Structure formats: C-alpha cells, structure tokens
Amino acid sequence: MTQALEALIVDDEEDIGLMVSLFLKRAGIRTTYINRVESAKQAIIAHDFDFYFLDLNLPDGTGFDLIPSIRSKNDASKVIIISAYDGHLETSKAEEFEVTAFIKKPFAKQDILNAIQL
C-alpha cells in the first residue's frame, strides 16, 4: 500500500486555507491547515510534507520565512506560493527560493491542481 501524499497549507485567511484543503482532499492529498508562521515551523520540524502551500503576507511573518526550513528538511518537496502580492519583488524572491509555482489570488481550482501536477 502506498502512502498518501500530504500538504501543509499556511494562510491566515481561513476561507482560503479551507478551500485549498478541499481541492487537495478531492485530489486524494491529505492536508494540514495552519494560519501562522511559528505554528507552521513546528509542523515542518515534526512532519515531512510533499507539498507546501504558502501565503506571503501572514500576521507573524511571510511564507518566504518558512522556505529555508522546508528545504533543509526535504529539498524535493514542492513549494507553492499563493498570494495577492505578485509584484516584481515577490516574484523575484520566489525565483531566488526556487519555488515550484506562484499562484495569484484570486485563483481557480485548476490553478491548485496544476501546481500539484508539476
């Protein structure tokens, strides 16, 4: 029996986190939703996820703050940024961190599904 894929979703907007979670669950991926950077850091230490969906603007930091921890744990994990902030600074930093995908809010279900197929 193969182990199910798992995703960590970090977004302070609960409706966004739950929507992404629903899309992923329907695709057969187990999800964990967290709304703060510090809590996400603890989850990253405790568990290895296949996908990380990160919002950039969080109350206690940014999704970029989590990427070094993710990469040091498992460099093969896919990191997907979901953000309304998609200016030059954000996209350049995403390239620098070699994120798998950058999804602009608002997004469609297919954007999420495309990101996990990469």
Q: What is the pLDDT of residues 42-57, one digit of tens each?
A: 999 999 999 999 999 9
Question: What's the CA gap between 48 and 61, in Å, rounded?
Answer: 21
Say if residue 69's pLDDT is above 60: yes
Beta strands in 11-107 (DSSP E): 30-34, 51-54, 78-83, 101-104
Inter-axis angle of helices 109-117 and 14-26, to 10 degrees? 60
Q: Does 20 reside within a domain?
A: yes
Based on the structure, what is the number of domains in the chain? 1
Query: Has residue 1 been placed in a domain?
Result: no
55 lies in some domain: yes
Residue 75 pLDDT more than 70?
Answer: yes
Strands (E), 3-92: 6-10, 30-34, 51-54, 78-83
Q: How many CB atoms lie within 10 A of CB 118?
A: 8
Domain that includes residue 37, residue range:
6-113
> Is 118 contained in some domain?
no
Backbone angles phi, psi at 117, to 5 degrees: -90, -15
Model pLDDT for residues 22-36, shown as the tens digit of each residue: 999 999 999 999 999
What pTM, to 2 d.p., does this model score? Answer: 0.95
